[in-house]
A and B are shown apart, each in its own frame.
Chain A
């Protein structure tokens, strides 16, 4: 029977995805970029919409929320998963509202006037059944997928507006977005890139080899030399893992030092981040913000005797406050950090902030 087969097939895929997420985060499995994760999540959500059993929008949203909670629990640091889920939930709300006939704009804005006149909580329970809802939602998710596929290129297209010739640009670690950004600019302009290697994973080495193969003058420096070299740098361009709701960043460790050094020398700090990295989280949650990996990256087991007597920390992420950031470049253009909250309200519905 097609029904149960589809369902088991679906659950299998979901389980496979979850185990991939769990493995990927610990650093042992293949490291995936955030774009890939976002695409896979969205594809999986489309599959759920297509194959799962639901009759009304509310059911669908419940199913997606449940799966979403499981996915974010598998790898809390991988925020793109949660972001995509929230996007899809917003899509469902929009499609539902459109099917019901009410205009989109009034639904989105929760003005004081609306609160007073509507008299109590809004009774949106999404219980109505619309035949065309499934098709509409799937179409909208396809649009989202196309958008995701084009993000890196959209960001790279803006490169020439920000990089002039004979510049010295600094970056840290490895970001595929920044890599394509710089390679695109290198086709027309000549400039010099300094890459901080970002110990202990030393992702910067791979970035440097890839950039130099594209013909860009690259220099690799140790993390300790960031401040020493900063006085000759014209711009700092970095990628990030997540953009937080207040405009701050959760980026690879060492980025806060880089941002402070740039601020000291009044060097602009540009963050290349596609929209799917924008997350409604705030940095206050201390226990969930940081992620640690095995300390043997920092102090290997060959050190033996002192290992048992010493505490070793190996955090993966750094928090960068929004005051240190000059500009965000995303697939929809450039923004100041103070504008991020507005973008958030366009992408996600406030009720979806907590899955």
Chain B
């Protein structure tokens, strides 16, 4: 037993060293898992102590019988960490001859066990990946249909602003990642106290300087462009994000003793937190990030760095091409069938996809005219108006309050979407649901154009629980030299609300045009399921 104790010693030290090197990279989840395992092991250790004290004489037999038993399960695992595993069983047995050293040894032993178990799990995961080439995440639809999907994912932080614990955790995480925390601004309407409200005049980088070792300068630039509204619109934001990530990948070098697949993913995490602080991520950005992370973790470990990087860059280019550019072409092709000569088409705000469709239709010599509806305070419709007028399309321009005046002239309504939710609701710029409502009242067909990469597994029924609050000062306007709301902060009972998104119920929408075809709003979960199976 003493021998096994000694052999256990150097192995334990190795385990602890490994633990130290890996300790920095343990994520919150792993730490929580470790804590749980600690508790479980404490309980099981107490039980084992009782048993072991009773069977102190039969130690050698259970050891010898246990060790071959422990080996067969470890054999199919690739020889990543065989040295740590066989010491699992002899180690607890060595507890009893040295009861005085119990607390010190047991902690170290448990740590070593945990490391070993983690290594084993990771190895098994990688092994499976190497064989099948698919992510071995639990709860995938490969499970038999009678098994339900795992329940609710964790709520994102940006809809829990009213929970002080969540805010504390976020502050700690950002401190660790060395990203400044952005503070809320102004009086928040009570219905929305669970959301952030930032001011555009206080960008994230004003107070602190962010060293480039922490966050890549391309990402800092991107974050500022988001927070100031220079890059807006879900397609534009996703494409800008992907280009910034390409730059990051080009400048990345794997540190020694690290794997590109794991280290790069960990490098991206503070970037994503930073971008989230600048402006909450959109659904399309979320899907793009998931794709990138998956691609990175799928890089085999023996791949050389240059090869891996060029592979990743190609993946990103292909994603942009397929999901955004080609999808736009496919959607334009199907939508042109829906546009006939003499049509009067109403569009709202500035959707890059809808503008593309209208320009394509105009190229194909369809005769139609466009009514652009705009709304304060963003006034994005003016941008759409400029683009359409440049092409030579005849346009009319009104504000959203005049939509019931202009709607009797309209034959079709084309709307863009920010995301399509799994219960068929369309999440889009605020005001879209209003236009769909009035169009329904006048019996005008409403067509929503959306690429499939914007489909999202979330469900939502109203525009309150998950939304974005923009700078409230945008609502202030000066007319005839008088600014009514100039001192709104000083008046205690006055609040300004500047919503960014709203959800349109599926009964207002007649058709959704996607790159997979023309589907009704209620078929969105079917498409999501098909996509998940493919991936």
**Residues of A near any B CB (own CB < 8 A):** 197-202, 205-206, 208-209, 212-213, 215-229, 231-232, 253-254, 256-257, 260-261, 264, 290, 298-299, 303, 306, 309-315, 318-319
Contacts and interface: CB of A to CB of B under 8 A. Distances in A.
Interface residues of B, number: 50
Contacts of A217: 493, 495
A5 B402 CA distance: 49
A60 to B, nearest CB: 40
**Residue of A213, A220, A299 with most chain B CB atoms under a 10 A cut-off:** A220
Contact of B405 (A213, A215, A318): A318
Nearest to A309: B389
A228 B396 contact: no
A312 B397 CA distance: 5
Contacts of A318: 401, 404-405
Contacts of B503: 228
Contact of A227 (B191, B475, B502): B502
B433 A223 contact: no
B397 A298 contact: yes
B495 A313 contact: no
A220 B497 contact: yes
A220 B485 contact: yes
A223 B491 contact: no
Given A223-B376, A256-B404, A208 B437 contact: no
Contacts of B313: none
B355 to A, nearest CB: 14
B484 A202 contact: yes
B524 to A, nearest CB: 20
Contacts of B405: 253, 290, 313, 315, 318
B430 interface: yes
Contact of B437 (A198, A205, A216, A264): A264
B1 interface: no
Contacts of B477: 202, 205
B419 to A, nearest CB: 15
A225 B431 CA distance: 6
A222 B495 contact: no
B399 A199 contact: yes
The 9 lowest CB-CB distance pairs between A and B, nearest first, are: A224-B431, A254-B401, A205-B484, A228-B502, A224-B375, A212-B494, A256-B404, A228-B463, A227-B434
Nearest to B502: A228
Of A225, A228, A229, most buried by chain B (CB within 10 Å of CB) is: A228
A290 B406 CA distance: 12
B68 interface: no
24 contacts: A199-B375, A202-B477, A212-B492, A216-B493, A219-B494, A220-B485, A220-B494, A222-B430, A222-B431, A223-B376, A224-B375, A228-B430, A228-B463, A228-B502, A257-B434, A306-B385, A306-B386, A309-B395, A311-B395, A312-B397, A313-B405, A313-B406, A314-B402, A318-B401
Nearest to A210: B484
A306 B475 contact: no
A50 to B, nearest CB: 39
Given A197-B475, A212-B494, A310 B433 contact: no
Contact of B438 (A221, A256, A303): A256
Contact of A221 (B484, B494, B497): B497
Contact of B475 (A220, A298, A315): A220
A231 B462 contact: yes
Given A216-B493, A220-B485, A225 B499 contact: yes
B376 A197 contact: yes
A223 B401 contact: yes
B403 interface: yes
A218 B462 contact: no
B136 interface: no
A219 B437 contact: no
A205 B479 CA distance: 11
Nearest to B505: A264
A198 B484 CA distance: 14
A313 B377 CA distance: 18
A256 B153 CA distance: 41
B490 to A, nearest CB: 10
A226 B404 CA distance: 14
B475 A222 contact: yes
Contacts of A314: 398-399, 402
B396 A312 contact: yes
Tell me if B's interface is mostly helix, strand, loop or mixed: mixed
Nearest to B483: A205
B38 interface: no
Q: Which of A201, A209, A231, A290 has the most CB of B within 10 A?
A: A209
A223 B438 contact: no
Contacts, number: 161
A140 to B, nearest CB: 40
A133 to B, nearest CB: 46
A150 B328 CA distance: 62
B399 A220 contact: no
Nearest to B498: A222
A219 B188 CA distance: 10
Q: Which one of B377, B397, B479 has the greatest number of beta carbons of chain A within 10 Å?
A: B397
A227 to B, nearest CB: 4
B382 interface: yes
B494 A208 contact: yes
Nearest to A222: B376
B441 interface: yes
B189 interface: yes
A222 B375 contact: yes
Interface in B357-413: 375-377, 382, 385-386, 389, 394-406
A202 B484 CA distance: 9
A76 B499 CA distance: 38
B52 interface: no
A313 B402 contact: yes
Nearest to B374: A298
Contacts of B437: 227, 257, 260-261, 264
Contacts of B475: 197, 220, 222
Nearest to A216: B493
Contacts of B496: 219-220
Contacts of A264: 437
A260 B404 CA distance: 10
B319 interface: no
Contacts of B484: 202, 205-206, 208-209
Nearest to B501: A228
Contact of A260 (B441, B462, B491): B441
A200 B401 CA distance: 9
Interface string B434-474: 10011001000000000000000000001110000000000
Given A202-B479, A228-B463, A215 B433 contact: no
Contacts of A228: 430, 433-434, 463, 499, 502-503
Nearest to B390: A306
Nearest to A318: B404
Nearest to A320: B404
A152 B22 CA distance: 75
A13 B399 CA distance: 39
A219 B192 CA distance: 12
B495 A205 contact: no
Given A256-B438, A309-B389, A212 B485 contact: no
Contacts of B398: 298, 312-314
A209 B497 contact: no
A283 to B, nearest CB: 13
Given A222-B377, A257-B401, A209 B434 contact: no
A302 to B, nearest CB: 10
Contacts of B382: 299, 303
Given A212-B492, A228-B499, A253-B401, 10 more contacts: A208-B484, A209-B485, A218-B493, A219-B494, A219-B495, A220-B475, A224-B400, A232-B464, A298-B398, A306-B385
A295 to B, nearest CB: 8
A213 B496 CA distance: 15
Contacts of A223: 375-376, 399-401, 431
